[in-house]
Amino acid sequence: MASGSVETTLGLWASALRDVKGRIRPLFGQNRVAASASQFLDGLLSNEPRKTGWMRAEAAGDPGPWRQQAILGRGNWNADALRDIVREYALETLSDPDAVLVIDETGFLKQGKASCGVARQYTGSAGKITNCQIGVFTTYVSRHGHAFIDRALYLPREWTDSRRRLKAAHVPDGVGFATKPQIARKMIARAITAKVPFAFVAADSVYGVGDIEIMLRKAGKGYVLGVASNHVFHSWSKKWAGGTAADIAQSLPKNAWRRLSAGEGTKGPAARLGLSRIGRSRCRRIQRHPHQPMDARPVDPAQHRRSDRSCLLLHLVSEGYDHDKAGGDRRPSLGHRG
């Protein structure tokens, strides 16, 4: 790459960063607080491996971390308003009617007990139960790229059952316990209210439960939700009435499955089995892989249909269902959209 191209790229990045700082400026009532927020953002984008308060202060030329710590604690500004600014900024570039909202949680490893929401809980970041915080996130994914547009901190019951602990962590009054699917449902509702253009919601088996599915059906959105092998599906179809994901998978002939590459996983190459068409004009896809989701071993559909320990993921995908062509038939069934 020519040096001129590098200089041009850096200039564009600097211009874009100035634009972002200008957008968030109205959130801060005083110039000095806005300046600290600007320096905080610079610190997050720096190449320091650990971005502690002292390291960010040193990079900004401050005598100590207090100014930048105040942004996260004592500063009076609306974090949800910043979330909305980030969402609108991302959509200016990524917006697409065929986009997908991806819902997932991740853990932030912590030591001690003071950080808000910290507890011993499972996180995929570590692959085990450990001391951590859990955040639930919404990512907007389109053919143009992807970006985070929403977030929420998960508070375990040991936190929400202790008002003293919530007060010490400055958790707002009225915040109570909410499951991860309940958090996800609120984030999806925010996206719909904000008229975020998307066609589908994708999430793993933590979120593949009734409330989210019903909400998306009412909103006329598609969904790809993972479920456990013992999850029961109800349908007016005599063939599928009252069947579990495992029952549906077991009833399919071996030639209904084809092996697809899922790319590199955290434990090496992963394989997934799918896609099978079931029913009338609607497409439902059953995707299966072994009990260890990132296991690279060869997968035999017949073998795993016989195994009660197989982790079967029924991915509900609806496409092309026309209410008028169906003669007004609005009865719910597997993967029905709208």
The answer to the question of residue 50 being in a domain is yes
Judge if 232 and 311 occupy the same domain.
yes
Single out the residue in 203, 218, 246 at which a domain terminates. 203
The CA-CA-CA angle for residues 142, 143, 146, to 5°, reads 45
The answer to the question of residue 191 being in a domain is yes
pLDDT of residue 32: 86
190 touches 86 (CB < 8 A):
no
Give the position of tokens 């110039």: 31
pLDDT of residue 240: 57
pLDDT of residue 286: 38
Judge if 197 and 243 occupy the same domain.
no
Model confidence, pTM: 0.74
pLDDT of residue 239: 58
Judge if 120 and 158 occupy the same domain.
yes
pLDDT of residue 208: 79
Judge if 196 and 106 occupy the same domain.
yes
Single out the residue in 136, 168, 203 at which a domain terminates. 203
The answer to the question of residue 217 being in a domain is no
pLDDT of residue 119: 95
Judge if 165 and 105 occupy the same domain.
yes
DSSP 214-283: HHHHHHT-EEEE---TT-EE--S-TTTTTEEHHHHHHHS-GGG-EEEEEEEETTEEEEEEE----SSSS-
Pairing of strands 222-225, 232-233: unpaired
Judge if 137 and 231 occupy the same domain.
no
pLDDT of residue 259: 67
The answer to the question of residue 83 being in a domain is no
Judge if 67 and 104 occupy the same domain.
no
Judge if 291 and 242 occupy the same domain.
yes
Provide the 8-state DSSP code for 170.
Answer: T
The answer to the question of residue 210 being in a domain is no
Judge if 199 and 230 occupy the same domain.
no
Number of compact structural domains in the chain = 3
Query: Residue 101: beta bridge partners?
Result: 140, 201
pLDDT of residue 324: 32
The answer to the question of residue 197 being in a domain is yes
Residue 8's domain comprises 3-72
The answer to the question of residue 25 being in a domain is yes
Judge if 193 and 106 occupy the same domain.
yes
Single out the residue in 172, 203, 234 at which a domain terminates. 203
Judge if 195 and 236 occupy the same domain.
no
Residues of the chain short of pLDDT 70, as ranges, are: 1-4, 209, 234-242, 256-338
The answer to the question of residue 276 being in a domain is yes
